[in-house]
Structure 1
Amino acid sequence: MIAVSMVHGGPGPQFISKNLFNYILCEGIFSPDTKDVCDPEIQMMLQKIKSSSSVECLRSTVEVYATMLMIAGCLCHVIRELSDKDKIVEDYLKWYFFTRNAACIQRFKEGLTTLNVLEAMKQNPSGFMKYFCFSEKKITSEIIENLFKAEFSQPGSNRRQEEVRTAAYWADYLLDIEGKTSFAEPSLEDILMFSTGVSSIPPIGFHPKPTVNFLHNESPYPIAQTCTNFLSIPIHKTYDKFKYHMNFGILNSPGFGQH
């Protein structure tokens, strides 16, 4: 489903950890940390092993958690030095995240071979990572402004003058939304959803390219055609009126750009 969705212009999953992503592609560094473990008992065990201050303390801790370590195949270590604790933790983490889930990961990889997505990932891992792995990077007003191509009337016409003014309102509006502090205003993701039907930019981009044009005495509110990524914004004499009607139109049309 993920492979088909991405090939047909859908957004990436963005929930795969970087360690799992690298493991799937059999390249890069995949070294999970104890903080990635959700099970409190297992996390406690690993923290105690890591914090062992002597060989005797390490041996004692390993003995306490012998059953858990044996299940993971980590009890075969002969502890001679304190540095052995790092190897024990590393081996357990690789078993916890990868070895015990090998069958599930293999089925996931087989699914990604659909439409040659897995092969494309191997050829361009850095390009695909941002669409498979979580990132704090957010959509900015500049990204939205550059994403939408404006359609203007003939130069010198009265319509063109109104459209130029409204285009400036549109740019200011995006900046205001980027720095919004109230739930009474939409987010940049809401604007993208209203205009295109998705809240993030798809891996292969938008086809057709998003376009913004201007409503002359047709509607005081924005109108969108999500099938063609077409956004029509209203023309108002003042910025405050423009912002009010944009907010109202977008917030009252969740999911799709219906007027």
Structure 2
Amino acid sequence: MQQWQRQKKASPKSQLKVTFLGEAGVDTGALRKEFLTEMLSEIERKLFVCNGDGKGKNPVYCLNSLDQKYFRIAGEIMSVSLAHGGPPPSFLREWCFQYLCSGDADHLQVCTSDVLDMEMSLLIAKVNDATEDSITDLTDEIINCGYTGVVSLEKKDRIVRAIVLHYTMRVLPMLDQLRKGLQLYDLLVLMEKYPDICLPLFVPVHSDDRVNSTFIMENCKTLFSEKGSVRRRQECG
């Protein structure tokens, strides 16, 4: 990630050429794919977290990574990998992909299984298992999640929902920064316009039919300006 930052004098849109230190050879594509594969693997390992259910990962809540703009770099690397024939970053949870496409938090569909923070998952379990007497013992933890209503068994569903939203809202800045990186090559525009086609590139799918960049380009219809216009000549030039 730091090496990528140091190379910012060259545009990320330039042709990616890779040379491994101590290894001879000209990059004809294989080294580039190897590099991008390793980079995405490290991004997945260090910046995202899962619970082992195979349904994808959420961003790690890490303000240091946010401050260092690592999530923006991650988005740029994802864009470069897709544009240069590397592997897709197909390790995100579906709600994360939905947010990346829209940038709209109002219509996110997030449930308790999407909460991958150990502490908050444990709090949800405690609330669900609580009795009328024991739920009051969780008051401080519940209030710290932004819930301001009455703490009682009758409000259990609202309490759990508040915990889920608290977890979701605090990782949105990481996804916002990731969106900025995905603007490279106008990838974000394609995601917003063709979410169903792009989804398998970012979310784990249990199928042999993997979507790649070639499939996307073949299924994206280009809308040109009127024939004979100056704008049409510019678009085709």
**TM-score, normalised via structure 1 length:** 0.46
Q: Which has the higher strand share?
A: 1
Larger radius of gyration: 1
Q: Which has the higher helix share?
A: 2
Q: Which has the higher contact order (CA 8 A, sep 6+)?
A: 2
